[in-house]
Amino acid sequence: MLNDSYGFKKVYIATGYTDLRRGMEGLAGIIRFQFDLDPYDKNTLFLFCGRRSNRIKGLLWEGDGFLLLYKRLDNGAFRWPRSESAAMEITPEQYHMLMKGFEIVAKRPIKELEHPPKTM
């Protein structure tokens, strides 16, 4: 289910750390009050990661109830963005990269120079 993103309208990840002991109501509260998003947005997947990077939880509203997903990797880890605590919408390509263990937010992104040096 979590290895492909078919059927999801949007995917959000909660950057930073989340207490994975929380259940459906606790995660829905984070979505609504901390991130100011609607947890009842149908087919929108919200992903959370705790201190251990080999476990994630997902929350999905299906129209008639919440679906709580939990995934623990046997080997490897998710490359989760930890810089701040916010909700970040990711593309299907970024989602696939995340599920395969790749980093989706570069630690030191390459930036275009506004004023390139004149001499070589």
Which residue has better confidence, 113 or 22?
22
Identify the pLDDT of residue 83: 75
Kindly state whether residue 113 falls inside one of the protein's structural domains: no
The pLDDT of residue 4 = 67
Q: How far apart are CA 82 and CA 79, in angstroms?
A: 9
**Residue 108 above 70 pLDDT?**
no
pLDDT for the residue 120:
64
Which stretch of 7-21, 66-80, 97-111 has the lowest confidence by average pLDDT? Answer: 97-111
Stretch 10-32: mean pLDDT: 93
Q: Would you say residue 57 lies in a domain? A: yes
Stated pTM of the model: 0.82
Query: What's the first-to-final CA gap in the chain, in angstroms?
Result: 52
- When divided into structural domains, the chain yields a total of 1
Q: Is the dihedral of CA 31, 7, 92, 98 positive or negative?
A: positive
Range(s) of the domain holding residue 73: 10-99
Name, in order, each residue with C-beta under 8 angstroms of 83's C-beta and a sequence gap of 6 or more: 15, 16, 105
Residue 120 within a domain: no
Is 105 within the bounds of a domain?
A: no
Residue 12's H or E segment, with its range, is strand 10-14
Sheet containing 55-61: which strands, arranged edge to edge? 66-72, 55-61, 44-49, 10-14, 87-90
Helices (H) and strands (E) in the chain, counts: 2, 5
Average pLDDT over residues 105-111: 69
**Whether residue 64 has pLDDT greater than 90:** yes
On the question of pLDDT at 93 being above 90, the answer is no
Structural domain includes residue 119: no
Backbone region of residue 85 per phi and psi (left: phi > 0; alpha: psi in -120 to 50; beta: other values): beta
